[in-house]
Amino acid sequence: MIGAPIGDLASLLDPGPAATALAAGALALMVFGAVGTMASGRWYWRSILVVGALVWPLPDHAWQGPVILRFGFGHGMHVSDLLSVAALIVAAMSWPRSRRRSSVDR
């Protein structure tokens, strides 16, 4: 009974439709987070980007590409995992904060 939720979580990471859906959700978070971060520099966009970047490498999905660095049997860094590295760099960079124009500025 205790292992049931962990088993359900593990099924999200194994190859299949659930892992692909999780990867698509992480990719969407990274895209929206990156656009929002570059446009406004706000912390909440950066948070969304970081969450997407941390979830992206976890599931075994169809878009992974070849393994570029092996850590052991069945474990390694895929080409697509570099997208997470790029997303974390974007989140850490300094972006100008946009300000709303007040009625006095118009």
**% of the chain surpassing 90 pLDDT:** 36
pLDDT for position 101: 57
- State yes or no: pLDDT of 1 exceeds 50: no
Whether 104 maps to a domain, the answer reads no
The total number of structural domains in the chain stands at 1
Segments forming the whole domain that contains residue 54: 7-92
- The predicted model gives 33-38 an average pLDDT of 94
Average pLDDT over the chain reads: 81
Whether 105 maps to a domain, the answer reads no
Tally of helices (H runs) and strands (E runs) in the chain? 4, 2
Cβ atoms 76, 67 nearer than 8 A: yes
Burial of 23 (0-12, 13-18, 19+ CB in 10 A): buried
Q: Of 102, 12, 93, 7, give the one whose Cα is nearest residue 60.
A: 12
Whether 17 maps to a domain, the answer reads yes
Q: Of 55, 52, 36, give the one whose Cα is nearest residue 44.
A: 36
